[in-house]
């Protein structure tokens, strides 16, 4: 069975072969770019220690859409240094494995990220050919970690248009776990927040977030537990954790309970 990369790459090759608007020279250029893209993805895992960076300024942008967040999340994890000719919706929908239904949404997301300055454009010599430069800025502060393997798992296991809302939810939750480039010493990889805060940063509906959290929990990409906070008059909050080991989250909650920070576990999904 082909792995995700090989499957997506073969479909992209078919897309190139069937493109009647491209000359043979342009097709050969695209084959070369495809090979460089794959190598770039592999190199990034070592260079960026398996994670990309998403600026919190993007998540907090009032005009951003969840589709744009999802696309940027994929790009920052997998596509550092891409310089791609004809960087279009077909190419990215194949990489995201979301099918034809997502073509227009991806097309709009590309345009939106370019217009807002999150994807750069450049031209070839003589300004005849337009390229999209996905080098992305190296944010030293106010960013969140986006893990490459998590993104690949989301794409592989979702394989539908829902992938976009799941990626946006993942990015928003990660931004609360890892905010400003600093993870709390006392609660590493754990945060708590209301669904309202997460939906506002992910730019999705409450219902879409619930479905995304369920997906992330079921596929062991996220652990959640709802508690009553002792210092907030018993107000209910949801703890989100990036722990894959259930014992670590259990220990965190147990210690918080003993320290008097929470007084009751209401509901939990601990992986």
The answer to whether the CB of 66 falls within 8 A of the CB of 109 is no
pTM of the model: 0.70
The answer to whether the CB of 169 falls within 8 A of the CB of 216 is yes
Q: Is the pLDDT of residue 177 over 60?
A: yes
19 versus 96: the higher-pLDDT residue is 96
Measured CA to CA, the distance from residue 1 to residue 105 in angstroms comes to 29
Q: Read off the pLDDT of residues 24-72 as tens digits, 9 standing for 90 and up.
A: 877 776 666 666 555 555 555 555 457 788 888 899 999 999 999 999 9
CB neighbour list of residue 161: distance below 8 Å, 6 or more residues apart: 98, 99, 101, 102, 105
The answer to whether the CB of 174 falls within 8 A of the CB of 158 is no
Measured CA to CA, the distance from residue 39 to residue 224 in angstroms comes to 35
In the block, residue with structure tokens 């730019």: 203
The answer to whether the CB of 88 falls within 8 A of the CB of 104 is no
The answer to whether the CB of 149 falls within 8 A of the CB of 83 is no
Q: Read off the pLDDT of residues 128-142 as tens digits, 9 standing for 90 and up.
A: 666 777 767 666 567
Beta bridge partners of 192: 239
pLDDT at residue 87, rounded to an integer: 72
């Amino acid at each position: 069975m082909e792995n995700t990369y090989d499957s997506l790459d073969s479909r992209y090759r078919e897309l190139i072969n069937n493109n009647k608007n491209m000359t043979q020279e342009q097709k050969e250029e695209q084959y070369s770019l495809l090979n460089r893209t794959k190598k770039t993805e592999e190199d990034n895992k070592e260079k960026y220690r398996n994670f990309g960076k998403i600026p919190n300024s993007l998540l907090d942008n009032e005009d951003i859409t969840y589709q744009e967040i999802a696309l940027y999340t994929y790009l920052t994890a997998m596509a550092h240094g891409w310089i791609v000719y004809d960087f279009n919706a077909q190419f990215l929908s194949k990489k995201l494995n979301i099918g034809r239904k997502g073509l227009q949404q991806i097309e709009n997301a590309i345009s939106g990220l370019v217009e807002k300055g999150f994807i750069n454009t450049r031209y070839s010599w003589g300004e005849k050919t337009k390229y999209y430069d996905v080098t992305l800025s190296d944010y030293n502060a106010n960013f969140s970690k986006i893990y490459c393997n998590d993104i690949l798992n989301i794409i592989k296991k979702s394989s539908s248009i829902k992938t976009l809302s799941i990626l946006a939810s993942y990015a928003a939750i990660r931004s609360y776990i890892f905010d400003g480039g600093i993870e709390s010493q006392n609660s590493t990889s754990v945060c708590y927040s209301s669904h309202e805060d997460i939906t506002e940063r992910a730019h999705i509906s409450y219902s879409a977030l619930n479905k995304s959290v369920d997906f992330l929990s079921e596929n062991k990409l996220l652990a959640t537990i709802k508690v009553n906070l002792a210092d907030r008059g018993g107000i209910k909050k949801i703890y989100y954790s990036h722990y894959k080991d259930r014992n670590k989250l259990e220990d965190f909650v147990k210690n918080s309970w003993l320290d008097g920070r929470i007084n009751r576990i209401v509901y939990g999904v601990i992986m």
